[in-house]
Amino acid sequence: MDKEKKIIGALLIFAVIASIAVYAFFNSRNPFIVAQKSATDTLTADNLTAEAPEIVENDAEKLTVQEEIEEIKEEAKTENTEPTAAETDEEKSIKNEAAGDLSSKLPAYVPIARNSDELTIGFITDLHVFNGASANKLAEPFTNRIYYFVKKMNNEIVPDFMLINGDVVEGTKIPANTSIKQLQLVKNIFNFSKIQKYWVPGNHDLRSVTKQQWESALGINYLRKSFELRNYKIIILDSNFTEKDNNVSPGNGYTRGHVSREEIKWLEKELKNTDKKTIIFIHHPPLSNVDFKSDLKLLDNATELRELFAKYAVLAVFGGHVEDLYSEKVDGVQYFSIPGIYKNPKYPGAFSVINIRKNQVEVNLSYLEDGNNYKTITLEKY
């Protein structure tokens, strides 16, 4: 009996051990559990491997794009602020001005001390400007030539004043609003310099705008004017009237020019009430019997004016309009006709420096001799 109990106990122990061994064997070799764990671990690793490079690559792309944008911005900034070798500061300044940007001006001029019998005037006439590629820009020949004159006056000559002697704009068949904008653009170029300017009305100006519009566009309040400077009296005359003394205006022009009766009365009063030597500026030169123009193309009451100038011992009279270079002395009065900056092919870009010393008048005319370099000649002294 005891022997049987021992055998049964041994079998039970063997069965337990065998069961444990079988469980351990199959558990350690269960392909489903291993596969599931491996699949989970691999999926997690694959996700990390796949996502991490994507994030890095995207960030790198964003960073590269951002750097390229910054480089482009920097290049654009450099191009906008620094002129290239082909574009000088001066040329950039001209372009800015034509576009209405007054941020870059000429240096402040240094006034020149002159004696009481000395006077220097920067004279330019008959600009006849028209637009370039847009309504906000003048064509380059005008911009460049006007700017050169202003720069020359501001930096080198430093005259007592600059005088613009009429026909600022072309005006022919041009709408008033266009000519007004052109007048303002020209004024802006002259405003690069703080030197005093005076303006004279011309017949081409008034083909497009009224006299009031002309004044308003230039920011002035006169069509005629007189003032004294040292030993001299300066008179600006308006010669834009019809034969019947009416104001010239768009559609009511008079190319030849006429000084009204009221204007002549004012002029004689100004001449009578001064003991200073007088200098006259008028758009239409009061010439007569001149070879290059018939009297029918000259100021219609020129003879009357010349008699008046001689009576009051006017020193000199300056005009434009006829687009030619001419000078003469009649009855003690010196007359000068100066060409404009554009229409006379012999004197492109023309302007003058008028020097008066002890009642002696010297006129130095500068013009583009070969299209690139300015040449200066001195008109005959009288």
- Residue 70 pLDDT: 35
State yes or no: pLDDT of 77 exceeds 90. Answer: no
C-alpha distances in Å from residue 29, one per residue of 21, 32, 40, 285: 12, 9, 18, 121
State yes or no: pLDDT of 90 exceeds 50. Answer: no
Print the domain residue range for 6: 1-82
Residue 206: CB atoms within 10 A of its CB come to 26
Measured distance CA(70)–CA(110) in Å, rounded: 43
Q: What CATH number is given to the structural domain containing 237? A: 3.60.21.10
Asked if 105 and 69 sit in the same domain, the reply is no
Asked if 17 and 127 sit in the same domain, the reply is no
Cα dihedral 141/146/147/149 (nearest 10):
130
- The 10s digit of each residue's pLDDT in 244-268 is 999 999 999 999 999 999 999 999 9
C-alpha distances in Å from residue 305, one per residue of 196, 257, 265, 315, 340: 28, 12, 11, 14, 23
Asked if 68 and 178 sit in the same domain, the reply is no
| DSSP category for residue 233 | E
Of 82, 102, 120, which marks where a domain is finished? 82
Q: What pTM, to 2 d.p., does this model score? A: 0.74
Asked if 70 and 104 sit in the same domain, the reply is no
